[in-house]
Structure 1
Amino acid sequence: MTHERELPEAPDSRNAPALPDSPELTPTTEAPTPSPDLSVVIPAYNEQHRLTPTLDAITHHLAAHDARWPEWEIVVADDGSTDGTGDLVTARQDPRIRLVTIPRNRGKGHALRLGVATSLGRRVLVTDADLATPIDELERLDKALTEGNSAAIGSRSVPGATIGARQHRLRELLGRAGNLLIRRTTLPGIRDTQCGFKLYDGDRAREAYAASRVNGWGIDVEVLRHLHRAGLPVAEVPVRWSHQPGSKVAPLDYARALAEITRITLRSLSSLRSLHSLRSLHSLRSLHSLRPADLFAPFLFLLMSVALYSGRFFDPAHRYLPDSLRDQNQWEWFFAVTADNVAHFRNPLFSDLQGFPDGVNLMANTVMLGLSVPLTPLTLLAGPAVALSLVMTLGLAATAAAWYRLIVKYVVRGRIAAFLGASLAAFAPPMVSHAHAHPNFVVLFMIPLIIDRALRLCAGTRVVRDGVVLGLMAAYQVFFGEEPLLLAALGMLLFAAAYAAVRRDAARESWRPLVRGVLIGASVCLPLVVYPLVWQFAGPQSYTDIEHNPRSFNSPLALLSFAERSWLAGDADTANALAFNTTEQNAFYGWPLILLAFAILVRLWEQALVKALAFTAVAAAFLSLGREFRIPLTDLTVPGPWKLLADKPLFEAVIESRVAMICAPALGMLLALAVDRRLAARPLSTRYVGLLGVGLALLPLIPAPLKAVDRVDVPAFIANGAWKSYVREGESLVPVPLPDPGDAEALHWQTEAGLGFKLAGGYFNGPYGDERVGIYGAEPRFTSNLLRDVRNSGQVPPVNESWREQARVDLAYWRAGVLVLAPQPNDGALRETVAKLVGGPGRWVDGVWVWDLHERGLA
């Protein structure tokens, strides 16, 4: 996460802090340039003898590190000193060193609260006047904030800390006892809250100190408690520390600090009791941290999704997305048959309404039972076209909102940056391509929630609860789509490996609770999904593997080119040459975005998160190139990394080009980091130039609304129910040619007829042959192949008696009651061929040619 963040509340504490205008405060020097890189806040009470070397050490250190801290300020909060403390500061006549005076001694907490309130820095260092922790340790704390924490506290109690001169044994024992009490009651997990050397994100510090009420030594606990309750990460960093003579902590102050800590704890417990449960407390905390932007962003995502689907959204029953090929008909059938199964208490994992008589293994066809089952009432009431349209439109918006919340929680606090990052994650070119036809790759809001739960496990605070929730989430995602879950797991593994390599300390702390939580999640998930998975892989009409299009990999050029639906730069010819159909344009991020990502990587290379995200995106893009790939502009072919996974269980069914979809959220988070940094950049010219570059990179990715056309009318023979007199119980209706992946309009007939008849043939994934290899569509037979060839060629074959006998066998296998030929290209050749096969011409009935097989003794 970046350290340059938006302020969470509407007032800007950098420009107009309320507290400095208090009558107690009297700034004595001119304010420095707004928003320096670092503010050092020093509370001081009668520090005349120790303050001078402290100020010298700090100014010399910052001058020596001007590349990291080009602009800084020191704020000395004089807590009613009666010696020459204030005069030491004003005598320096350095506008970067400011004095805030308080008329009477109120305590360290009061001085810190007012000193931090007047600070202007993007980061705030709070240090004691004795500088018991050397200023050189600032770099360690700065590294921790760069890696995504909102605060880094110098600690004497974690491995790696060194202690020089020790304080009195009694003080040391009292300090340890106090820290133990704090860990047990107020701040679990933090070993040393009282070391006076802490670095904060500036906005977080001003918010936390402004919310504090303690005036004494307990303010450190109160501030850290505020950050903890807000869910902000705090790092405990080992430092060098040495006791300095002249401590202002009197024995009575330990009792006062204990009383303050007790009050803080009691306030927390009182709040907990008033909310009745920890769940309510979490909800209130989330509500408190909610900003207007957090409500406005999902609304904007919804508008974006409606705009994308505008051609179909307002009349889904009569509009069709032609670039979905036949998938819109297929998915509407999935929703319709699931609702029918649920309404009639049938097995939702199987149906024989299509592919009759063998049927369809619905679990092996990704019918999204996680949504199609609960949406049964809507499907039955409004129809499958409306249900599918709402699922895809609302699901895409929900996916964007889920990425937005994840980015706000873990990557950046700035809402504008988070919105742009989530927009790229959810509306990237691959997502828009799948938005034509694949709701299982559009409705992905569970994936960010699963990632969030895995990150919670890394913290190790509630491993059992988070593990159980992770298991339930994974089980639910299985009923949304297993392939997206597998790709998400692959992306998380790539990210975890990269992050562990650059943050080995974090990996050492996280791997045990993460592994334990994953095992708990697996023990919860597997019992819930074992039966559906056994049905999927070993049940009726299951298959072992499925052959994909030979071009189901990405060319390196596809990663740099623009998708067909790019509003400004789309080129259908180029996109179609680099992808095997419009629904599988799984890359096409465009060269401007790739250049922007490279610039972000160079500019923010010091951040571990950036390195891990960049590795994830590059590795996913590389894997998507397939088993082997040709180097562009050459004839040289080299082995691809996907060859290592292609034949492994689970991965053998994955379309490898889809692995590039992992790049979308990774690039979205990198974009959020860059925009957040640019929005805080100075001078303004630098900010505007950077944002202009971001805009130019994103502009070609804005998608045009998906193309929609008027839907082909269902023949009156189907719509008015005339088919009922031809199809008897246990028989099927056989369209000519049989429905298949090339033409599945008959599935629309069936849904419009209320699933009243069964169909031979169809568009689904099913087995073929004794080895049960997966194919698209029903297992082909002689007659279905013959009719498909006639449709494609327009040529009438020489039908002989053996062909007619084979047709009778096939019609008997399908239990056909009627053959139906609707007007279509080459329908004349089809009509003549069918007449030869069944021994006579058909009749024209309500807009179609009909062959009643009962009359001909073939039913």
Structure 2
Amino acid sequence: MPVLTTTAEPILERRSGSTPGGTKRRWVERLRDNWSRTDSAVALAFLGLAVFVLNHQWRNLGNGYLSKSGQDQTMWEWFFAVAAHSLSNFESPLGTDLQNFPLGVNLMANTAMFGVSIPLAPVTLMFGPTVTYVLALTAGLFGTALAWYWVFSRHLVESRTAAAIGGLFCGFAPSMISHANAHPNFVCLFVLPLLVLQMIRLTHSGKWIRDGIVLGLMVTLQIGLGEEPLLIFAIAFGIFAVVYYFQRRDEFMPAVRNARKAFGLAVAIAVAITAIPLWWQFFGPQSYHLLSHDKTGNDSLSLFQFPSQSIGGILWPHGQDVAINPTEENAYFGWPLLAFVGFASIWLWRNRIARSASITMAGVLILSMGPEITVGWVGTGIPMPWHLIGKLPLFESLLETRFAMAALPLIGILLALGTERALRRRASSVPWLVGLAVALLPLTPTPLPVVERPATPEFFTDGTWQNYAGHGSIVTVPLPKAQDAAALRWQSESDFGFAVPGGYFLGPGTDDKTGIYGPVERPTARLLSQVQKTGRVPIIDDKTRAAAIADLRFWHAEILVLPEEKNQEALKATVTQILGDPGRQVDDVWLWDVRYRADVQPDPRT
């Protein structure tokens, strides 16, 4: 595929890094020559906007919590903290039994994001996992916008203004802001534009060894940042390539011949580096083969509505209940932008790159709508392509709603190309810029809301737990789960001095094939969760008590800890009936010590 450029001379080839005399210049000099004050101003603007979006969390790193993240912030902070803990203790970060004890968790099969957690482990150890979490989100927004700006400004358009507008949208689009509440793996997308550029480079560069090594390392890094974004964008890039070459089929085979050696080398390098982690992910302990979801396509209304975390969402907040949850507003482009992009597609239709981007954008948005078109979550009976491909390997574990994110760089391309064309034609510059303002200003993000997170019980903060922890587990009442994973933070703040059963992670279900959120729920975990929810104390008969004792033996329970909790009295009464022991208050928790109970401790012969 030729370099993405609208000029007659490919920019990529023109900036080869050699002087006219053929002498290689030092990389510092090349960087200085290729970086201008305008680039610095754009970068600072992107950084300032990223900090602005997350400023409430930055100002309250100790107790602040992104309110729309649900339990995901707790989960991510735990992932970052346990990776740092494993490295500092010279343990493998791929798996752990610190939660879901004693079975453990396959961290490679989760979104542990080793591309962040491992290099930033010193930050986590010195400043805590919240700093790592917010730093990853901020760097993700900033880096993604800057990377697309770099690609657009060097290889698509000559106008820095046009490139900045395209990069701005790619880095701060509604879906990026939505995921910035809870999903750094869908915010740290800065490798993808460089990876796409490298793929294009393979089709015409004669330095296949260098290009293959670079591509292989990029793919490896992106696997460490997020496999799902890599797969989604690879599919979108494949659609773009098919559309692009279908218009000039004579260019296809030369491009393949140029790219095959480098591409093969890249695959070999990526496989060699990631072979062990990927084997662990798919075949190691607590692995699973697929992750089944309910219907997770974009409702058609979400394409036209304004995102909740934007100026438009504040001024026109109606109809924002069609997202899966506040962290999955993957479309929400707003009707002005959709109309403007439609106009841009027509206006730029004769441009091959714009035409390919427009067709690909329509394709990924159709995929994002799932197996059936819905309007306000009401099915229309109109089937969509996902109905046919959603059960295929790899596709079956994807959230189809996230395919809308693949439209971001395609829209960015249209905005950049259109802006440059308008600026060159003075007669069309004012109407274009007015339309651009009307389309983008409603999408201006607002700071993500933050609340105070509940304090960790003093039982853990003052170290009292150390008097009870040994080689078993501390069972919190109720057990940590996807709906309330606070106990994972208590464990992290205790420097992982004890294991906990339950947890918030992805693991195998009862058939060891389909992944589920959290562990396979044991009877006692289910019982305590129900008591917390209803506030009613159930009848504890001999069968229930025997099942509970079996669960405590399975968990190698040493103590049961009940902090101040919703329906605390009902939970306390339930545990008292199960154990025949009223327990006692220690610090600010209610505690049952079962270390010396023969009916609870596992048989040492088993």
TM-score normalised by L of structure 2: 0.94
Q: Is 2:398 aligned against 1:645?
A: no
Q: Does 1:854 align with 2:598?
A: no
Task: Name the structure 1 match of 2:531.
Answer: 790
Q: Against the structure 1 CA distance between its residues 725 and 634, is the aligned structure 2 distance closer, same or farther, given a 3 Å change threshold? A: closer
Partner residue of 2:125 out of 380, 396, 404: 380
Match of residue 805 from structure 1: 546
Residues in 2 aligned to 1:328 and 1:606: alpha-carbon distance in whole angstroms = 46
Q: Is the 8 A contact 2:295 2:370 kept in 1?
A: no
Task: Give the counterpart letter for 1:644 in structure 2.
Answer: L
Kindly indicate whether residue 176 of structure 2 is the aligned counterpart of residue 413 of structure 1. no
The 5-angstrom pairing of residues 220-299 of structure 1 reads 228-230=13-15, 267-269=20-22, 271-272=23-24, 275=25, 280=26, 284-299=29-44
1:498-509 to 2 correspondences below 5 Å: 498-509=243-254
| 1:617-636 map, 5 Å | 617-630=361-374, 636=380
Structure 1 CA distance, aligned partners of 2:130 and 2:31? 36
Q: Could you say what secondary structure the match of 1:497 adopts?
A: helix
Superposed CA offset, 1:155-174 (max 9, x none) = xxxxxxxxxxxxxxxxxxxx
Q: Secondary structure at the match of 2:460?
A: helix
Q: Does 1:515 align with 2:268?
A: no
Gaps of 5+ in 2: 602-606
Corresponding residue of 2:566? 825
- Between stretches 283-292 and 471-480, larger displacement belongs to 283-292
TM-superposed CA distance for 1:338, in Å, is 0.4
2:213 aligns to what? 468
What displacement does 1:290 show?
A: 2.1
Aligned to 1:753: 494
Deviations 1:16-43, CA, capped at 9 Å, x for gaps: xxxxxxxxxxxxxxxxxxxxxxxxxxxx
Residue 469 of structure 1, CA deviation: 1.0
Q: How far apart, CA to CA, are the structure 2 residues paired with 1:833 and 1:633?
A: 40
Q: Is the 8 A contact 2:152 2:167 kept in 1?
A: yes
| Distance in 2 between residues matched to 1:476 and 1:774, nearest whole Å | 25
Pick from 703, 724, 746: which aligns with 2:466? 724
Matches within 5 A, 1:505-544: 505-544=250-289
Question: Does the C-alpha gap of structure 1 residues 472 and 266 become closer, same or farther in structure 2, counting only changes over 3 Å?
Answer: closer
1:587 maps to 2:340: no
Shift of 1:503: 3.1
Larger Rg: 1
Match of 1:767 among 501, 508, 512: 508
For structure 1, list consecutive stretches of 5 or more residues without a partner in the other structure: 2-143, 153-223, 233-264
2:179 & 2:233 partners in 1: Cα distance?
A: 16
The equivalences for 1:52-91 within 5 A come to none
Sort the Cα spacing of 1:590 and 1:720 in 2 relative to 1 into closer, same or farther, 3 A. same
Shift of 1:396: 1.9
SS in 2 for 1:844: strand
Deviation of 1:779 after TM superposition, in Å, equals 1.6
% identical equivalent positions: 39
Partner of 1:50: none
State the shift of 1:370 in Å: 1.5
The residue number in structure 2 matching 1:339 is: 84
Question: Taking structure 1 as reference, are residues 508 and 854 closer, same or farther at Cα in structure 2, changes over 3 Å only?
Answer: closer
Match of 1:701 among 419, 424, 443: 443
| CA gap 1:361/1:572 in 2 versus in 1, 3 angstroms | farther
CA contact (8 A) 2:306 2:317 kept: no
**Map of 1:317 onto structure 2:** 62
Q: CA deviation at 1:839?
A: 1.1
Residues 290/352 of structure 1: CA separation in 2 closer, same or farther (3 Å cut):
same
Letter matched to residue 138 of structure 2: T
Deviation at 1:151, TM superposition (A): 2.7
Map 1:36-115 to 2 at 5 A.
none
Q: What CA distance in whole angstroms lies between the structure 2 residues aligned with 1:319 and 1:339? A: 22
| Contact 1:551–1:579, Cα closer than 8 Å, also in 2 | no
Would you say 1:151 and 2:18 are equivalent positions?
no
Q: 2:580 aligns with which of 832, 835, 839?
A: 839
The residue that corresponds to 1:604 in the other structure is 348
| 1:779 aligns to 2:536 (yes or no) | no
Amino acid at match of 2:177: V
Separation in structure 2 between the aligned mates of residue 283 and residue 448 of structure 1, nearest angstrom: 22
Is the contact made by 2:322 and 2:377 (CA closer than 8 Å) also made in structure 1?
no
2:417 paired with 1:673: yes
Greater Cα shift, 837-846 or 779-788 = 837-846
Structure 2 CA distance, aligned partners of 1:357 and 1:266? Answer: 62
| Larger CA deviation: 817-826 vs 504-513 | 504-513
Please, which of 163, 178, 185 is the counterpart of residue 440 of structure 1? Answer: 185
- Following superposition, the deviation at residue 437 of structure 1 comes to 0.7
Query: Per-residue deviation at 1:228?
Result: 4.5
CA displacement 1:132-170 (0-9 Å, x = unmatched): xxxxxxxxxxxx99x834236xxxxxxxxxxxxxxxxxx
Q: Is 2:178 aligned against 1:452?
A: no
Paired residues, what number? 599
Kept in 1, the 8 Å contact 2:84–2:121? The answer is: yes
For the residue of structure 2 that corresponds to 1:464, the secondary structure is: helix
Cα shift readout 1:826-856 (whole Å, capped 9, x = no counterpart): 2221111111111122322221111111365
Q: Aligned equivalents of 1:678 and 1:500: distance in 2?
A: 27
CA contact (8 A) 1:321 1:709 kept: yes
Report if the CA contact (8 A) 1:230-1:285 is conserved: no
Distance 2:303 2:502 in 1: 37
- Relative to structure 1, is the Cα distance of residues 781 and 266 closer, same or farther in structure 2, using a 3 angstrom cutoff? closer
Q: Supply the AA of the counterpart residue of 1:712.
A: P
Give the aligned partner of residue 296 of structure 2. 552
Q: Give the secondary-structure state (helix, strand or coil) at the position aligned to 1:583.
A: coil
Q: Please report how far the alpha carbon of residue 663 of structure 1 lies from its aligned counterpart in structure 2 after TM superposition.
A: 0.7
- Structure 1 residue 395, shift from structure 2 partner: 2.4
1:690 alignment partner in structure 2: 432
1:329 is aligned, of 42, 57, 74, to 74
1:796/1:829 contact within 8 Å kept: yes
The match for 1:393 is 138
* Structure 1 position 588, deviation (Å): 0.8
CA-CA distance at 1:632 after TM superposition: 7.1
Residue 266 of structure 1, CA deviation: 9.6
Offset from partner CA, 1:159-208 (integer Å, 9 cap, x none): xxxxxxxxxxxxxxxxxxxxxxxxxxxxxxxxxxxxxxxxxxxxxxxxxx
Does the 8 A contact of 2:174 with 2:331 survive in 1?
A: yes
Within a 5 Å distance, the mapping from 1:170-189 to structure 2 comes to none
The answer for the alignment partner of 2:604 in structure 1 is none
- Residues of 2 paired with 1:754 and 1:523: CA distance? 39
**Where does 1:647-666 land on structure 2 (aligned, <5 Å)?**
647-666=391-410
Distance change (3 Å), C-alpha of 1:829 and 1:410: same
Report Cα offsets for 1:427-471 as digits up to 9, x if no partner.
Answer: 111111111111111111111110111111121322221112101
SS state of the match for residue 637, structure 1?
Answer: strand
Q: TM-score if structure 1 supplies the norm length?
A: 0.67
Higher relative contact order (CA 8 A, sep 6+): 2
Contact in 1 for aligned 2:306/2:442 (Cα 8 Å): yes
CA distance in structure 2 between the partners assigned to 1:632 and 1:832 by the alignment: 44
In structure 1, distance between residues paired with 2:110 and 2:141: 21
> Is the CA contact (8 Å cut-off) linking 1:715 and 1:847 kept in structure 2?
yes
Greater mean alpha carbon deviation, residues 498-507 or residues 411-420: 498-507
Alpha-carbon distance change, 801 to 662 in structure 1, aligned in 2, over 3 angstroms: same
Q: Which amino acid aligns with 1:796?
A: V
